[in-house]
Amino acid sequence: MSLRQYLTSRVFFLQLLAAAAIIAVIGYLFMHWLTFTTDHGHEIEVPNLSKLTEEQVENKLDELDLDYVLLDSVDYRSEYPKYSVVEQDPLPGTMVKVGRKIYIKINASGFSSVKIPDLIEKTYREAVPTLKALGLEPGTITYIPNLGKDMVLEMRLKGRNLKVGDRVLKASKIDLVLGDGKASYVDDSQADSTAVPVETPQDEQ
């Protein structure tokens, strides 16, 4: 039987159908095996861990067959309890598989301190970004007579004058004393020129 006759024979088509059926069965079994091994379709919703302690996180995730990894602590945030979860990844509501690790960051125990920068003779517009970059906040603004309009003349914290390099807690509000740009002065030479001359009596002839 020639190759052409074989390719057009009934035997060839039966063998081709048998091979296709075997491939289909193998593919079906493989997909079921893959679904079983990856636990496809069995996912867990990540809970909200915000403001929970590490111990509470461990207990909550154990109940859901999830795990966690503590990455680091972050700068203290007053709206969160000390040592509580501030950030988590994946976010709450995310669907994950059993055994997935949830990465968390916890709140520090308190504000860290920073050094007061040199803001003297800088403008208010320059001072504000510098304070915020250090985690500080601009507080009350007071104006006093000075030629430098909006120029920082003094820095205060709760009424106490601050010097460059003093350490204060982050999130502190730094009160600033600024120049009002309205100060004036009189030149001594101008003062002398405006003085009224005093005439001395002449000797009688």
Same domain, 96 and 122: no
Same domain, 82 and 48: yes
Q: How far is CA 31 from the centre of its chain?
A: 44
10 within domain boundaries:
no
Question: In CATH, what number is assigned to the domain containing residue 88?
Answer: 3.30.10.20
pLDDT (tens digit per residue) in 16-38: 788 888 988 888 887 767 665 55
Same domain, 127 and 174: yes
Task: Name the nearest CA neighbour of 73 among 105, 41, 44, 117.
Answer: 105
pLDDT (tens digit per residue) in 94-134: 999 998 999 999 998 888 889 999 999 999 999 999 999 99
Q: Which domain holds residue 52?
A: 43-107
Give the whole-angstrom CA distance, residue 91 versus residue 42: 18
Edge-first strand listing for the sheet containing 173-179: 137-144, 173-179, 152-157, 160-161
Show Cβ contacts of residue 76 under 8 Å, excluding neighbours closer than 6 positions: 82, 107, 108, 109, 110, 111, 112, 170, 171
- Helix (H/G/I), strand (E/B), else coil: 112: coil
Q: What are phi and psi of 128, to 5 degrees?
A: -60, -50
Same domain, 70 and 93: yes
Q: Which amino acid is at 61?
A: L
Output the pLDDT for position 197: 43
